[in-house]
Structure 1
Amino acid sequence: MSAQAHAQTPACQLLARQQDQYAALWVIGPPIDSWLIDQSTGVVSGDQDVLDAWIAKGKPALTPFDLAAGEALGKEIVLFWPKAHQLGIWWLKWLCEQLPEGTPIEVIGEHQGGIKRVPKILDELEMPWDKRDNARRCSLFATHTVALDLASGNEASDSAWENIEAVGLTLVSHPGVFGHGKVDEGTLIMLECLETSLPKKPLKVLDMGCGDGIVSAWLAQRGHHVTAVDISAFAVEACQRTLAANGLEGRVLSSNVFSALDDEQFDWIVSNPPFHKERDISYGPSQRLISEAPAHLSAGGRLVIVANGFLPYPDHLQRAFNDFQTLADNRRFKVYGATKPAG
């Protein structure tokens, strides 16, 4: 069977047809693809699902925050262009800072994901480029790392971090985090509900899908014992920075829903769960959150989530808890609450 037949994603099909004989390939921000895992030496990603897929095959899997500046990677680097262009720019700058000047990089992605904008971005970063291939509605570009010219406005990758003031807190955000640069309306509605319903006594609370840490910091500010989890390494780092920026404490973990928590239980679980994975709608993580929440709540414990009004969460809540309440509804967003029986 050909290499192409093993490549499930269009971008990997395009990469496979180059017939490159990779000896030390590191892939940056890739999709989960069995052909790519087999071809590569290791992966750098902010997505715990991706890291777990490489780990399962015995391959090195790192977040960008696991690497010290200048720590060696392989000599063959392929960056998969993300939907969020600012994140793609961050990856390019990070690679320029991480790798020796002149290290070859290839950038690949789907046309509907914005790869056609990459030549302009490379020009702005003064990174030379050539177009290697174009097929399957994807493009592949070749470039190499450069010493960033900070005088020309090509700031270091760390400049992507942004501070936002909201709900009496300083939030630290990154282009790799959901809702970067703004405060989500649904989260604010959920916080209004929590303000009136959350007991004043300190509780053990889990913030599922913590993002930039707004909910975790808000809870910690009110004296609650917070555990924050997210599948995104960018979110984990952002939440840690947000807590530190406000002089607050909390435990922040990388976790695919409850995967890092074993059998641990909490008094409350709060969440603004995502329903997008890149461009696709995915209810899987939210369904797992709801269905597995009772096992992670102490007797009488409570789940509070906010969701777009059209999402089918009431059915899942009814199955998992036998009962639930709609705590707020502004037509765009609904906040739901469900309680584990005390008996």
Structure 2
Amino acid sequence: MNAQTPVCQLLERQAMDYRQWWWVAPPQDDWLLEAGGGVISGDQSVLDAWRASGKSAGSALSTEPLEDIPGAVLFWPKSHALGEWWLLSLCERLPAGTPLQVVGENQGGVKRVLKVLAALGLGCRKRDSARRSTLFETRLERVSVAADAVWQTFEAEHLTLASHPGVFGHGKLDDGTRLLLSTLEAHLPDAPGTVLDLGCGDGVISAWLSERRANITAVDVNLFAVAATRCTLQTNGLTGEVLPSDVYSALDERRFDMIVSNPPFHQERTIDYGPAARLIRAAPQHLTPGGQLILVANAFLPYPDLLESTFGHCEILADDRRYRVYRVVLSQRHAI
């Protein structure tokens, strides 16, 4: 199978034997599975796919050393701070002297790798460029900065929130979530019951709802978000179940009185409505009769049609021209 993404097409043309190498934070590209080796990712869906294929797969947040690996390829993310974290983590987990290649699209800022590696005292050279992407290579060494140093906390909604560069809205409360919470304040029942926070991010929605006596389950496909939400709840003395999950994949047939979400619509720099569409279409299978789905989204996104086709109706609770808060209620007719 030929590589599908530009960065993998660049790797495919290298005179390299990657069969025992490990891919770090890779995109979804079936060529990588065929090329062999293992994967380290902060994306639960990537880990699930690799494990289903019988391949080695490790969590980004594991601190277990990785031995006997001939080399690793880091796919540079669009977040510069997250790329720095990956480099620090690999320096901690892989033996000194391990070959490392760093690949990324030029528009994604991969050329900044040279300065980052130089600041860490690591040499680097450009190996190749094509498909508007560049491939660098270096060797890992121990560095003085700990990967965990990138974690931070900040205050929002009278809560202390944990944040990591791999989490959406790192270090600040985004305006969409702010509108969602202010809208929920006026529409939340006195007894919220069981609530699913789908795409929990730094945990602000879960913590805010837990303060208001909701029985919280929080899920996110992003392992950094799962860790951040757990830390946020603990820091604020609140409770809730937090699970890694690709939309509803970890929930089996569980149902909730309410589903609340600020769903993502980007995969790196590419618009991707897939997760939000699955969230909406499968929501009736995870709501109790009379349960409601409340989500916030950029006003230009085509979610009203999806909501109406799934639930038969759609209500706009708030609209500030940039974001809209939608609500739908599961009727007996649409219950599954």
- Identify the TM-score tier after normalising by the shorter chain: over 0.9
| 1:43 partnered with 2:39 | yes
CA-CA distance at 1:23 after TM superposition: 4.4
Quick check: 1:321–1:338 contact (8 Å CA) kept in 2?
yes
CA-CA distance at 1:113 after TM superposition: 1.3
Q: 1:297 aligns to what?
A: 287
* Counterpart among 293, 310, 317 of residue 327 in structure 1: 317
Quick check: 2:311–2:329 contact (8 Å CA) kept in 1?
yes
CA-CA distance at 1:19 after TM superposition: 2.1
* Counterpart among 82, 87, 91 of residue 82 in structure 2: 87
* Counterpart among 5, 21, 24 of residue 20 in structure 2: 24
Q: 2:116 aligns to what?
A: 121
| 1:212 partnered with 2:202 | yes
Structure 1 consecutive aligned stretches of length 4 or more whose deviation exceeds 4 Å: none
Query: RMSD in angstroms over aligned alpha carbons?
Result: 1.4
Q: 1:70 aligns to what?
A: 65
| 1:143 partnered with 2:138 | yes
* Counterpart among 224, 234, 237 of residue 244 in structure 1: 234
Aligned residues: 333
- 1:63-87 Cα shifts (integer Å, max 9, x gaps): 122x334343622111111111110
SS in structure 1 at match of 2:210: helix
- Normalised by the size of structure 1, how large is the TM-score? 0.94
| 1:309 partnered with 2:305 | no
* Counterpart among 151, 155, 158 of residue 161 in structure 1: 151
Quick check: 1:69–1:97 contact (8 Å CA) kept in 2?
no
CA-CA distance at 1:131 after TM superposition: 1.4
Give, in whole Å, the separation in 2 of the partners of 1:35 and 1:340.
41
CA-CA distance at 1:185 after TM superposition: 0.7
Give, in whole Å, the separation in 1 of the partners of 2:91 and 2:291.
48
The share of aligned pairs that are identical, in percent, is 54
- 1:249-293 Cα shifts (integer Å, max 9, x gaps): 111111111111111100000000111111111111111111111
Give, in whole Å, the separation in 1 of the partners of 2:294 and 2:269.
26
Give, in whole Å, the separation in 2 of the partners of 1:34 and 1:341.
40
CA-CA distance at 1:202 after TM superposition: 4.6
Instruction: Read off the aligned partner of 2:94 and give its amino acid letter.
Output: L
Q: Which of 277-286 and 47-56 deviates more?
A: 47-56
| 1:6 partnered with 2:36 | no
CA-CA distance at 1:133 after TM superposition: 1.2
Q: 2:55 aligns to what?
A: 59
Instruction: Read off the aligned partner of 1:305 and give its amino acid letter.
Output: L
Q: 2:128 aligns to what?
A: 133
- Normalised by the size of structure 2, how large is the TM-score? 0.96
Give, in whole Å, the separation in 2 of the partners of 1:104 and 1:162.
30
Which runs of 5 or more residues in structure 2 are unaligned?
A: none
Quick check: 1:26–1:73 contact (8 Å CA) kept in 2?
no
Give, in whole Å, the separation in 2 of the partners of 1:233 and 1:82.
15
Q: 1:152 aligns to what?
A: none
In the TM superposition, 1:96-107 aligns within 5 A as 96-107=91-102
CA-CA distance at 1:302 after TM superposition: 0.6
Quick check: 2:290–2:330 contact (8 Å CA) kept in 1?
yes
Which runs of 5 or more residues in structure 1 are unaligned?
A: 150-154
Instruction: Read off the aligned partner of 2:88 and give its amino acid letter.
Output: K
